[in-house]
Amino acid sequence: MMSAGKSANNYKQNPEAVQALVREREVHRDLYIDEDVFDLEMANLFASTWVFVGHESQIPNVGDYYTTTVGNEPVVMVRHTDKSIKVLYNRCPHRGVKVAGDVCGNTGKFFRCPYHAWTFRTDGKILAIPLKSGYENAGLDTCDAAKGMVAVDNVHDYRGFIFCRLNSEGVSFEDFFGESLSTIDNMIDRSPTGKLQVEGGIFRYVHKCNWKMLVDNQTDTCHPMVAHESSAGTAVHVWEEAPAGTPKPMAVELFAPFMSSYEFFDKMGIQVWENGHGHTGVSDSIHAAYSDIPGYWDAMSAAYGEERAAQILGDVRHNTVYFPNILVKGPIQTLRLFKPLSAGTTMVESWTFRLVGAPDLLFERSLMYNRLINAPTSVVGHDDLEMYERSQEVLHARSHEWVNFARLYDPAEAGQRNVVTQGTSEWQMRNQYRTWLRFIKPAQNEGVGI
């Protein structure tokens, strides 16, 4: 029996063994438990795809910064003095200290390393070094440290959503995301002013499981009525016993759809896009029947006209996966990031957005949804967490080597692009693993963009 950790396959030296880990209808357990596979994901998959960094509203002023990770690379997103947004590796070129230590803040016109006070402009270039005379004949300009804080040169601002690709060469932003950007468009367009604002804080908590378990879960429509019966099912039962005429609480509106039937989820459909992206909720969604928010329609129809406003608000996609590790819910204005820490641990972040110009109650609904479903103190999310951690605990069992994704498999699906399929199909998960297989190979150019 192979326990969790490193297998005997030595995947870093054995690309053929890595390619054998994904079959058409199943993937090998080592994708979830092997640290060498994890290292390859960080070095290849997360460096050669476009990964979400943050949102422009987090850094409105010159010097504002936000620290995060891309894969397992530490980065800081900062508003440069020319107002452009830079993404820098958050590592001092001197002795390697993390320069920006807080999650967010304002650094003014430069970063100052807390160890020996080297300073860097907000584009990463060295500004000043104390006791500079000691370096006059030391050849510093030919040292690696002369690069300063290295800037990621492939940064893309998509309507305020900041992405980066760490490798210098690779797939373009447009080719990587293609039509899937329509989900981000829809979330932004739900603002009467076309603007989003990150607000309400970001929930963060560590899950003891592999990051891909969370990604798999987002389009897994065969689990809500089972795994969430104890939470959402209880809310439904309590509501059924409420006296007639009781106004339906917002919390019940948010909880109850998780108990929708297999038939409902199957009919709502799944959109499968290229490069591992896709979304549930094509013709219907668990977010479709929320109550109207007073004043919202008036604001939207005034901003866009009735026809366009109805089109925007009628698009009620459920979960959109942006491969590798983003989940967006347009109709409820939330985003989740599944940040890999190791093969068996993931930092899960849950974000909320205010639709600028929309009634406050709409934002309160987003906050309530995030508290009830995604927060460390939530109810529904813990049902899933229990399943992830049970899987991580026993995937190494000698009884099975493979994890199954065969539901509604179509032998012709691999060559098809941008299709809509049944809502209980696992096609989208297979789409993710086909993409994983392509990007797990080392890129031709593995430079860091300098």
Gap between the Cα atoms of 186 and 311, Å rounded: 10
CB contact at 8 A, 97 and 115: yes
The minimum distance between CB 321 and ligand FES, in angstroms, equals 38
The minimum distance between CB 151 and ligand FES, in angstroms, equals 17
Residues that bind ligand FES (CB under 6 A): 92, 94-95, 97, 113, 115-116, 118
Shorter beta-carbon distance to ligand FES: residue 78 or 362: 78
List Cα–Cα distances, 60 to 137, 201, 207, in angstroms: 41, 16, 31
Gap between the Cα atoms of 115 and 224, Å rounded: 50
The minimum distance between CB 124 and ligand FES, in angstroms, equals 13
The minimum distance between CB 85 and ligand FES, in angstroms, equals 23
What is the secondary structure of 283-320 as a DSSP string? S--TTTTPPPPTTHHHHHHHHH-HHHHHHHHH-----E
Shorter beta-carbon distance to ligand FES: residue 47 or 76: 76
Shorter beta-carbon distance to ligand FES: residue 118 or 439: 118
Shorter beta-carbon distance to ligand FES: residue 25 or 94: 94
Shorter beta-carbon distance to ligand FES: residue 114 or 447: 114
Shorter beta-carbon distance to ligand FES: residue 118 or 433: 118
- Residue 312 has which token pair? 């925007």
The minimum distance between CB 112 and ligand FES, in angstroms, equals 9
What is the secondary structure of 392-448 as a DSSP string? HHHTT-TT--EEE--TT--TTGGG--SEEE-TT--HHHHHHHHHHHHHTSPPS----
Q: What one-character DSSP code corresponds to residue 269?
A: -
> What burial letters (b/e) apply to 212-222, b meaning 16+ CB within 10 Å?
bbbbbbbbbbe
Gap between the Cα atoms of 412 and 115, Å rounded: 58
How many residues in total does the chain contain?
A: 450
Residues 6+ apart with CB under 8 A from 441: 15, 18, 44
- Residue 96 has which token pair? 């390697």
Shorter beta-carbon distance to ligand FES: residue 118 or 405: 118
**How far does CA 8 lie from the centroid of its chain?**
31
Which helix H or strand E contains 9, and what residues bound it? none
Provide the phi-psi class of 230: left if phi over 0, else alpha when psi is between -120 and 50, else beta: alpha
The minimum distance between CB 6 and ligand FES, in angstroms, equals 32
Shorter beta-carbon distance to ligand FES: residue 143 or 397: 143
The minimum distance between CB 93 and ligand FES, in angstroms, equals 8
> What burial letters (b/e) apply to 396-411, b meaning 16+ CB within 10 Å?
beeeeeebebebeeee
The minimum distance between CB 113 and ligand FES, in angstroms, equals 3
The minimum distance between CB 95 and ligand FES, in angstroms, equals 4
Shorter beta-carbon distance to ligand FES: residue 85 or 92: 92
- Residue 270 has which token pair? 């799944």
